[in-house]
Amino acid sequence: MLLDIVSVFPDYFSILNLSLLGKAQADGLVEVRAHNLRDWTHDVHHSVDDTPVGGGAGMVMKPEIWASCLDELLGMPALTVDASAQAMANATADLASSFSSGYAPDYQPSSSPADDEKPVLIFPDPSAPLFTQAAAQELSRHHHLVFGCGRYEGIDARVGQYYAAQGVDVREYSLGDYVLNGGEVAVCVMIEAITRLIPGFMGNPDSIVDESYTGEPLLEHRQFTRPTTWRGLSVPPILTSGDHAKVDRFRRDEKLVRTNAVRPDLIEKLDTHSLDKADRKL
Ligand code: ADE
């Protein structure tokens, strides 16, 4: 999988060279390329932002710098001024449909093999739909992801709109209901969540089979290791009983009780057909 990341702070992404992601890169499973958006500027100050049209605080990232960079990374032909103006007009005329087919909250990406070959353009944005395990799973099947990290008040809204109108699969995701200083940290999180799902990434593939948010929407049970008694605290005795059926039942009870206490919204999403008799008693 090729991961292109565009940011004015490409050094943020040096952490992706550590640990399992570092190993995946060394093994050639993943290639991470962090680009500095300022490399696509032509003025002496390498400026990437301007004041918001319509007024207001802060600065907005300029569309033409982003387009020079993204045209290159997405392998799109550089447009003449006329063609570019026409494309922009089309994108503007098609605003509603670019939202419903491109990066609206109800967007359901298709994932046919042919689509997997096409790059996906992803913008982290606190105003976007939430990034979920399901999104990570779907994105892990693609071969080329391009991430655009906004700073300041964000990127001119026409950039995503333009590429969606050009047929690019454009997505926007929020990490959660809080605001970060920019998209860099959000992209690191998304990349970690996505790449660990690539077949061959984890040393032990079983470690991603039974995790929270995978399959049934239940949180994971607690985990313990040796010693079985530590500072007067013992692990639940069933776990040392050697009775696998009882251990499985104990862990499933923990998942259900914990999810109900911590994330009742997930319990609402449970398919009641997946519950057995013992589950229902809880
Ligand atoms: N950029 C700033 N805040 C963000 C958030 N919560 N999620 C994604 N991108 C962001």
Task: List the beta bridge partners of residue 145.
Answer: 3, 120
Shared domain for 184 and 94, answered yes or no, is yes
**ipTM for this prediction:** 0.98
Query: Hunting for tokens 């050697």 — which residue is that?
Result: 242
Please tell me the distance between residue 272's alpha carbon and the centre of ligand 1 in angstroms: 34
Look up the pTM and report it: 0.88
Give the Cβ contact number of residue 217 at 10 Å. 19
Cα-Cα-Cα-Cα torsion 238, 239, 241, 247, nearest 10 degrees, comes to: 70
Tell me which residues have their CB closer than 6 angstroms to ligand 1: 124-126, 174-176, 178-180, 183, 186
Residue 265 has what pLDDT? 95
Domain span at residue 229 reads 215-281
**Are the C-beta atoms of residues 60 and 50 closer than 8 Å to each other?**
yes
Tokens of 136: 């990570």
Per-residue pLDDT of the chain (282 residues; tens, 9 = 90+): 999 999 999 999 999 999 999 999 999 999 999 999 999 999 999 999 999 999 999 999 999 999 999 999 999 987 766 666 776 666 555 555 544 434 443 445 555 657 788 999 999 999 999 999 999 999 999 999 999 999 989 999 999 999 999 999 999 999 999 999 999 999 999 999 999 999 999 988 888 887 888 888 999 999 999 999 999 999 999 999 999 999 999 999 999 999 999 999 999 999 888 888 888 888
CA of 128 to the centre of ligand 1 (A): 8
C-alpha 239: how far from chain center: 35
CB atoms within 10 A of CB 145: 23
Give pLDDT, residue 104. 44
Q: Closest Cα to residue 6, out of 59, 48, 58?
A: 48
Residue nearest to atom 6 of ligand 1 (CA): 126
Residue 105 pLDDT: 39
Q: Are 167 and 39 members of one domain?
A: yes
**Quick one: pLDDT at residue 109?**
54
Q: How would DSSP label each residue in 144-159?
A: EEEEE---TT-B-THH
Atom of ligand 1 nearest to the CA of 181: 2
Residue 242 Cα to ligand 1 midpoint, Å, equals 45
210 domain-assigned: no
CATH of the domain at 242: 1.10.1270.20
Q: What's the number of domains the chain is made of? A: 2
* Residue from 9, 122, 171, 174 whose mutation best tests the ligand 1 pocket (most atoms within 8 A of CB): 174
CATH value at residue 86: 3.40.1280.10
